[in-house]
Structure 1
Amino acid sequence: MAQLTWLITGCSSGFGEHFVHKIIARGDKVIATARNRRKIEHLKDTGADALQLDITDTQGNIDAVIAKAVSLYGRIDVLVNNAAYIAAGTIEDLDYEQFLEQFNTNLFGTIKVTKSVLPYFREQHHGMLVFIGSLSGWIGHPGVGAYASSKFALEGLAEAVHKETCDLGIRTLLVEPGRFRTNLLSQENLKSIASAIPDYLELSEGLLTRLKEQNQTQPGDPRKLVDIIIDMVREEGVANGREVPFRLPLGLDVYDDMKDKCTSTLKLLQDWQDVIRSTDYA
């Protein structure tokens, strides 16, 4: 495959930083972005470019950054929508502004960056959108409802844009990672609210303890995940000779939990088929 130019959001740590190193090693070009440019300046030592991009900024300002990114090499071939964080707390304990902040990054920011890149992809008749979703886009675990709802919404966004653009030479890959050893649960990235409601104290204390314990003990190796995604984009390695799917769960925990949910959903449809299919006009 010819050399590709990638633009990646959220490169200050985690998957984003691993993407930069792995892509450069494959011989492609990378434009790394982050809200705080100082945190990604060191990535320029790899040969990557570094641009400041706050995905919660206005559409106009984001458009300007994307135009600058395109001017560096004359094109963008792959957009990786990676920037995200977790707001932990029960539905009652989180206020509206905290929900809005969660969606501004995990969903609305992703929408704005995607909208900025799509015109270039359409003009090129070529491009690939990569969305980093989550197991939480399938299962709403207690205490992370804000994060889960943003990732459920991201699933719908990715599926819709895939169907809108697949006939225009644009490919879409929705990746659904499980628990990987990134900095997502670090004190810097995790925004947690201890419950002030007696009925939720046990749930809240258990959740915050587990999240603290799981930080840097998650089973998934982010380097392996990134390698697989690059294979999917470049249609090589594990993707060589295989049809690249739209949806790609990654992680043993995702496989087990997603299979359980699919099995229970199929059973529901079978057990309640007579009721489910009974609502049309006679």
Structure 2
Amino acid sequence: MPGLVWFITGCATGFGEKLVHDVLGRGDKVIATARNASARLQTQKEAGAAILELDVTGTQKTLDDVVNQALKIYGKIDVLVNNAGYLEAGFLEEVGEERMRNVFSTNFFGAINLSRAVLPHFRERKTGTLIFMSSYTVWEGQPTPGAYVASKGALESAVLCLEKEVAPFGIKTCTVISGLFRTEIFGPRNMKYGAREIPAYAEGNKWSDSLVTQMYEHSPGDPAAGAARIVDAVKSEGTAKGKEVPSFLILGQEALDAIRARCKAMLKICDEGESVAQSTATGAIPADQAETKSE
């Protein structure tokens, strides 16, 4: 595959940082972005990446301007990786609307608005790949990361529609569903906590804090390996040799287990509720009444 130009958000740590180095190592070009980029992306710059300042919560005009600036660097963008995000922690009753809006502003609107800024360029060239980062927690639900899970769940749903909207223009989308990786998502920079004022949740918050510490220190996933699988999928190399870019890319055993469990549970619900679902059609006879009639 010819050399690609990657535009990647949230490149200071974690998947973003590893993606920059993996992409450069394969001979592609990278435009790495972050807030306070000049201070936080020096290693990436020294490795050969172009760096740009970007806050994904900026206005649409601001994001459009950054994309136009990026296009002047190499003349094109082939891949947009919407990686920037953070984890808002807390029981939903305690989180409140303002904190919920903040996490959506980064995790959902940031990714959608930046994609909107890049799409005219992709449509004009009739090619391009949009990558979105999601989480296995969307598929199983957990107490305390509800705001984060909601933002990622909304993103997954929006991308299902976006995929069908942009496919006629030769544009591909891929949602990466990640398990537990040793990144800074559980670190102090990316974990946000609000006021904890409801005594009923005190023990639950203690449990959550302990779990976060364990995940931060002992998550099984290697972010370098995860980043490599993402690049494989986009470039049809390595583990994805000869394959098309997938609509979903699952990384980590936790993600596999959560998705399989949810799918099995939903299939069971479908099987058990099939007659009820079908009984709502005009003129339909509920199964229990149909049995009575036949008698």
Q: Judge same fold: TM > 0.5, yes or no.
A: yes
Corresponding residue SS for 2:218: coil
1:237 is aligned to 238
1:12 is aligned to 12
Instruction: Give the superposition deviation at 1:246.
Output: 0.7
Contact 2:90 2:144 in 1 (8 A): yes
Matches within 5 A, 1:1-282: 1-37=1-37, 38-193=39-194, 195-282=196-283
Give the Cα separation in 2 of the matches to 1:115 and 1:243.
23
Contact 1:70 1:76 in 2 (8 A): yes
Contact 1:136 1:147 in 2 (8 A): no
Instruction: Give the superposition deviation at 1:264.
Output: 0.9
Give the Cα separation in 2 of the matches to 1:232 and 1:104.
28
Instruction: Give the superposition deviation at 1:194.
Output: 6.2
List per-residue Cα deviations over 1:88-137 (Å, max 9, x = no partner): 00011112110000000000111110000000000111100011111122
Instruction: Give the superposition deviation at 1:41.
Output: 2.8
Give the Cα separation in 1 of the matches to 2:104 and 2:68.
25
Contact 1:185 1:211 in 2 (8 A): yes
Give the Cα separation in 2 of the matches to 1:72 and 1:244.
26
Instruction: Give the superposition deviation at 1:208.
Output: 1.2
Give the Cα separation in 1 of the matches to 2:65 and 2:195.
39
Q: Which amino acid is the alignment partner of residue 117 of structure 2?
A: S
Give the Cα separation in 2 of the matches to 1:172 and 1:196.
41
Corresponding residue SS for 1:63: helix
Contact 1:140 1:149 in 2 (8 A): no
What is the total number of aligned residue pairs between the two structures? 282
Identical residues among aligned pairs (%): 42
Instruction: Give the superposition deviation at 1:202.
Output: 1.6
Corresponding residue SS for 1:84: coil
Contact 1:192 1:208 in 2 (8 A): no
Instruction: Give the superposition deviation at 1:57.
Output: 0.5
Instruction: Give the superposition deviation at 1:5.
Output: 0.2
TM-score with structure 2 setting the length: 0.93
Contact 2:233 2:244 in 1 (8 A): no
TM-score with structure 1 setting the length: 0.97
List per-residue Cα deviations over 1:58-103 (Å, max 9, x = no partner): 1101100100001111100000000010000001111211000000
Contact 1:183 1:216 in 2 (8 A): no
Give the Cα separation in 2 of the matches to 1:231 and 1:110.
22
Give the Cα separation in 1 of the matches to 2:91 and 2:210.
15
